[in-house]
Chain A
Amino acid sequence: MEGNQLERGKETLLAVEHLQKSYVTKSGTTDVIHDLDFSLVPGEFVCIVGPSGAGKTTLLRSIAGLLPPTSGTLQFEGREITSPPDDMAVVFQEYGRSLFPWMTVRKNIEFPLIEKGLPKDERTRLVDEALAAVGLANSAKMYPWQLSGGMQQRVAIARAVAYEPTLLLMDEPFAAVDAQTRADLEDLVRELWHRLGVTVLFVTHDIEESIYLAQRVLVLSDRPTEILADLHIDLPEPRDQLSTRMLPEFGNYRAQVYDLVQQAKRGLRRSGV
């Protein structure tokens, strides 16, 4: 049994087992997450989709170590998550509120690295590389609020990348930017994933976005949440906003996930309706 645990620890980066989360309110206990099981292997790109209010953010905050689960276990790199783990970075949806407005772009990216205890020259190298990677090399001295929304989210991504995490969590990161910027940012994240070999767990409510980005899509049920489907997305690489989205397979996946989300909204559960 113990040997088995160890084995699994090696090939599994993140293991979510029987995760359950409920809140106690005046009217009683509300189940947000009923029973969730899934795991990520290193290097994967996994998207989580589900109807709004499906507890996607609750799930992500639990994984990030910001919210203790009511029951069940969360393991990252073989260790139980009780507080925000090392080697994990989170990109939040609210870019305007996740960047420190009193720090320049450079300082925002460098700050976590200072906290990590990295020496100055290494910090400078990491920040410069991250800025170049997101195409903001010329904006290092600006303040976040001097930039457009899309650029601010690029800074948040650069900060996460410079941190060199093994797992990158993204909580609906592009929900608040316009469509064109969104497409650019999607490609940026895919490119970074390819180049850095980081594992990405990406929460979104946009079905097409999840299929375009991911190798695996987890479809969540409505509250109290469980996983309705775990789909392998077999689309050719490299992906491209135009040709990939025009593939018949893309359309099939889209229809499949769309149908699942619609059923989820009507209350479909894995354990049967």
Chain B
Amino acid sequence: MKTLHTALTALALPIVLFCAWWAFSVANPSFYFPSLPKILGQFPETWGLDMWVSDVFPSLLRLFASYALALALGVGLGMVLGLSRRIRLTFEPVLEFLRAVPPTALVPVVMLFFGIGDVMKVVVIVLGCFWPILLNTIEGVRSVDEVLSDTAATYKVRSRSRLVHLTLRSATPQIFTGLRQALSIGIIMMVISEMFAASNGIGFAIVQFQHQFSIPEMWSGVILLGIIGYLLSQGFGWVERRSLAWYYGLKASGENGR
């Protein structure tokens, strides 16, 4: 009963908005803003299996590969920079500058070096995802609790275990914050990389539909991106809750005054 109530509360606004969009678009037909039933009617036809194979999967594949690469690079370098004050001080000004450059501005530059293939798109997405992961990892690594660190030292925890079981674990809540930001940036970069120069991908398909004045199809692509973004974020939340169960438990026990 309670779950039903929660579900209804959560769904109420989406349902209202959906109905409002439906009613408004049906009442005000326009070429560029087709009615919602028309868009939805076009959806299954537009995004059939062949489109999934030719556009949706390549997009997602590039996104996942880039995300994994950014994760490895960001956490790896973040650990090094977080642990060494000297390296951090050396790199900080350069990093501050580089992260201030909007990654979208780098797309034309990246194209010069990597052409317009998959490599270019992966590089573009990695450039977007890398920064939040890197900066949050540095923060997380630096915030290791002193008492816990002393405890590990007195029990003679070897440096490799220390890195894995103390430094990395302490940093995970902060790393997840970075990963969450990186996920939304990644989706944005995925679409942008496909709009510049591409032969496939969801972003490419949307631009194609627009050029062909296939407006309902174009809108259906936008909706598809929304759905994908939503599902990825939900999946991320699920992984985060499982990985950080200890962190939320610890926080909750702290709030109850132990």
Q: Contact residues of A with B, CB < 8 Å?
A: 61, 64-66, 84, 86, 88-90, 92, 94, 96-98, 100-102, 111-112, 114-116, 143, 145-146, 148-149, 159, 163
Contact = CB atoms under 8 A, between A and B. Distances in A.
A88 to B, nearest CB: 7
Given A98-B147, A100-B169, A148-B258, 8 more contacts: A66-B150, A84-B155, A94-B147, A96-B254, A97-B145, A111-B165, A115-B155, A145-B246
A116 B156 CA distance: 8
Indicate the size class of the contact surface on chain B: 20 to 34
Contacts of B65: none
Nearest to B146: A97
B33 interface: no
B123 to A, nearest CB: 34
Contact of A84 (B147, B154, B249, B253): B154
B250 A115 contact: no
Nearest to A90: B154
A97 B153 contact: no
Given A92-B147, A101-B250, A64 B154 contact: yes
B148 A100 contact: yes
A115 B158 contact: yes
A146 B169 CA distance: 19
B109 interface: no
Contacts of B151: 90, 92, 98
B234 interface: no
Contacts of B169: 100, 102
Nearest to A152: B258
A145 B249 contact: yes
Nearest to B253: A145
Contacts of A163: 155
Contacts of A94: 147
Contacts of B258: 96, 148-149
Given A102-B169, A145-B249, A112 B156 contact: yes
Contacts of A97: 145-148
Contacts of B246: 101-102, 143, 145
B154 A101 contact: no
Contacts of B156: 84, 86, 112, 115-116
Interface string B70-108: 000000000000000000000000000000000000000
Nearest to B153: A84
Contacts of A88: 154
9 contacts: A84-B153, A84-B154, A92-B151, A97-B148, A101-B247, A148-B258, A149-B258, A159-B155, A163-B155
A182 B192 CA distance: 62
B223 interface: no
A112 to B, nearest CB: 4
Contacts of A114: 161
Nearest to B151: A98
Contacts of B161: 114-115
Contacts of B247: 101-102
Pairs A-B, 8 closest by C-beta atoms: A112-B155, A97-B147, A145-B253, A102-B246, A90-B154, A145-B250, A101-B250, A98-B151
A138 to B, nearest CB: 19
Contact of A115 (B150, B157, B253): B157
Nearest to A67: B150
Contacts of B165: 100, 111
Contacts of B157: 111-112, 115
